[in-house]
Structure 1
């Protein structure tokens, strides 16, 4: 046991990537189920039982490892893992800090109950579900842990290729149609990603994030403008992944068409885009990036505010519960990126707390959607009167709880996250806009979900014989309740979580320590002095000498 703990202590970052990868390979070697119909077939076959046991055990072990990563990162330690023992910036490195540890933990927290739900029958409606699921986890964990821009692209491709297969899992005409759109858009974004990375490398000569932050601060003239162009191209790429206006149009139809466990897992996909925006535009093009400082802010903040508003308007206009939840995903991304786009540690901390809440709630709502649809017969999740559900009290309470949390009613974590965001904007010039957006979107979210609840649970019709007992399974009901329980836990543990996100935001502003640790430089002599952005300083791209911060003038 001590040897295993020592091994984990030395190789912790890479093991979080290798575990799902090796699990996926083992599941492929184990082989797929044989002769199963589109409706699930014999769930109890020995091969299926082995697949599920191995898959769930790996996900649970990954969750335990992720908890260990957060415990290790909470001390403020930066762990740099050099693949092949090539030092940065020449070799590929994985970097464990508070942000990467938190996102890996969020991934595993979502993955375990989603996988449990899928084992109720969805996993045998297509080929190699469990193997592809773990390849998806490999891509997600790798994207959160890598310290290199090109390898961020590589892990993006891993998780996207897996998501293409998962998107089509279970087949169906609508799923295939939306899957084609999803693949084409992401292939286009991947091409743009490569173009942006190539442009950035041409002027900095590096793709290591810590080294890139140093090089960008020294750029001037044409090199500076080329780097800023690359930054905006990457913002487009990450904005598409995160579903930022005007690049969000693909998400509602895609998520609504996906199977319930896949849609719940995809709640993490938008957070990869959010994470990449934080990592690139805070660490590389952040406050102390010389003349390139805050390149994205004039575009990011208005887009974030508009995303939240348009997302909730789409939810109000949705005709199915699945599309409503998908639009609420878009709206939550806008709220998160509003905090990111203000570029202060306090707003970023609030945004990250809200990220945890929104991901968990959205994942639970996607699972709930399928359960209630199964009990409404042929009407499924359409927001029209239908026969009464078999579990009106249980599902009704679940709907009420999810709606209250998504809308931000006290004392649930949605309320706490929004309150933190509102408090963090005190004395900022954009405070009225942020308050209007947060409060208005919360009210409209509550109205939309209340309308859906009234239609589904009060406006009932006689049973037409199409209602099934599928949504009454205790195994399936357990998964969304786990997510609801997690939201309660987040409310009870709000203080330590907030302390962690506060320290996380401060750590991201400390480029001296980050660069000195990753690049193994002592004293940070080559690193520009870091000062947290207070929301008031103006940083024109063509003004101030390289590495300087220009203050507002009267």
Structure 2
């Protein structure tokens, strides 16, 4: 019976999305209650999935009882359960924030939001490359509509670029998947891990070309240089509640890189093994540099936070490029920190913009805020955490990543991370002093105040800055357990296919 929970993170949001589309009441309260019930159930399921994988068991779910590699299979291991939990917690915070009135600006907001969660969770759970493409499309289609939620010229322009780039990426994904299927006769990830290990010389070029194309798609989803330029504009234009759930979108790309290039293109892949690492390392380092310059030169608070997101994904991808057990574990430790903190900062920025009137989130002198102490405290904590200043979560996460680098890589990584921290500290100090200290004498009586919904969502997300240091030891132990499971792809193959070929170790 327990194995049926594996499909619940996909089935529950799909069910509630359909129910929410049927709910046509003009009163948003009924839709909010329905969405709250769905989100609560998903949280309970996420906790149950973590408990199911506590001992390293890999659970599979064959839809329609079709046996892999011929049917659709979902796979729950520690990594999948970890990512589903993060996305569900983030979704709960976003829904709480949206229920203050942002959801009422579009009838189908909650339905689209549930479809978005369905696509994200499906991407984490699928054991098939083609269905990874399908879930990518589900989450992207929902994100297109959510980005345009409540309208506006800026959102329309940002949405146009976002759609065009992702449609192009989807086309490349299909070409890559078709090439792999035509060459190896399968798209089941476990079966691909077996067949890549025995690929002939004649087929090797096609397999490597498809793998490079897949990497390009995942790097675009992650927003790595030079495929990064869509992110700052799209994330800065999104409504606050949408920006929160968008914070996990780049991590879907990070997850895909980690899953595909440890399971399929690990040690067992022969000459193709680890070919992606040099690309990931160089792209990650370059993205940190560009993101740091973007943070330093940003004229707007929301754009500044978007470039901080670029710095964080660049850091994670560079660590993936180092290709060691410790670097992978550090990435997984860093991932919830950067996801929740950037999401919380988007909410704080939106609240600041509402209380400043026409100045919005632009870093210019304007009138005083209605809640300067509360917003100032949240901005201060979020800023120090995202920049990695002790004693907040970012300091531990960054040190873990930095200490995994060796030799020349250490010199480059330390230089880029410390430089990005310095530029970020200067830039965000300038923004903070301009917004909170150089404000006019009069405070407007207009502009929405943070209440238990909006403030509660922001505080809950930013509380990770204090919770991660408190629970750093068990969290780091769990991320090491996740990587240990990734390092044994034979266990994954055995769980899915019922056989355990000698695939070797997939992590150096």
Which runs of structure 2 are paired with 1:248-287 in the superposition (5 Å)?
248-287=228-267
Tell me, yes or no, if the aligned pair for 2:285 and 2:416 is still in contact at 8 Å.
Answer: yes
Pair 1:27-2:27 in alignment = no
Superposed CA deviations along residues 302-323 of structure 1, whole A, max 9, x for unmatched, are 0011111111210111111010
Pair 1:224-2:200 in alignment = no
The separation in 1 between residues aligned to 2:182 and 2:403, in whole angstroms, is 41
How far did residue 428 of structure 1 move? 4.7
Superposed CA deviations along residues 113-157 of structure 1, whole A, max 9, x for unmatched, are 110000101001123000000000000000000000000000000
The aligned counterpart of 1:309 is 289
Tell me, yes or no, if the aligned pair for 2:381 and 2:465 is still in contact at 8 Å.
Answer: no
The separation in 2 between residues aligned to 1:179 and 1:444, in whole angstroms, is 29
Question: 1:461 is paired with a residue of what secondary structure?
Answer: coil
The aligned counterpart of 1:56 is 36
The separation in 2 between residues aligned to 1:159 and 1:174, in whole angstroms, is 21
Pair 1:78-2:28 in alignment = no
Tell me, yes or no, if the aligned pair for 1:515 and 1:527 is still in contact at 8 Å.
Answer: no
The separation in 1 between residues aligned to 2:49 and 2:389, in whole angstroms, is 32
Choose between structure 1 and 2: higher helix proportion.
2
The aligned counterpart of 1:181 is 161
Question: 1:123 is paired with a residue of what secondary structure?
Answer: helix
Tell me, yes or no, if the aligned pair for 1:220 and 1:291 is still in contact at 8 Å.
Answer: no
The separation in 1 between residues aligned to 2:183 and 2:450, in whole angstroms, is 59
Tell me, yes or no, if the aligned pair for 1:406 and 1:445 is still in contact at 8 Å.
Answer: no
TM-score when scaled to structure 1? 0.90
The aligned counterpart of 1:446 is 425
- Between 24-33 and 99-108, report the one with greater CA deviation: 24-33
Say how many residue pairs are matched: 508
Which runs of structure 2 are paired with 1:79-478 in the superposition (5 Å)?
79-425=59-405, 427-463=406-442, 468-478=446-456
The aligned counterpart of 1:485 is 463
The separation in 2 between residues aligned to 1:348 and 1:358, in whole angstroms, is 15
Q: Is the radius of gyration larger for structure 1 or structure 2?
A: 1
The aligned counterpart of 2:477 is 499
Pair 1:527-2:502 in alignment = yes
TM-score when scaled to structure 2? 0.98
The separation in 2 between residues aligned to 1:460 and 1:411, in whole angstroms, is 29
How far did residue 472 of structure 1 move? 3.6
The separation in 2 between residues aligned to 1:214 and 1:527, in whole angstroms, is 9
How far did residue 271 of structure 1 move? 0.6
Superposed CA deviations along residues 79-124 of structure 1, whole A, max 9, x for unmatched, are 0111111121111110001111111000011011110000101001
Gap regions ≥5 residues in structure 2: none
Alpha-carbon RMSD: 1.3
How far did residue 50 of structure 1 move? 1.2
Gap regions ≥5 residues in structure 1: 1-6, 34-46, 534-554
The separation in 1 between residues aligned to 2:360 and 2:130, in whole angstroms, is 43
The separation in 2 between residues aligned to 1:220 and 1:453, in whole angstroms, is 59
Pair 1:516-2:474 in alignment = no
The aligned counterpart of 1:42 is none
How far did residue 471 of structure 1 move? 3.0
- Between 128-137 and 509-518, report the one with greater CA deviation: 509-518
Tell me, yes or no, if the aligned pair for 2:267 and 2:504 is still in contact at 8 Å.
Answer: no
How far did residue 531 of structure 1 move? 6.0
- Between 232-241 and 435-444, report the one with greater CA deviation: 435-444
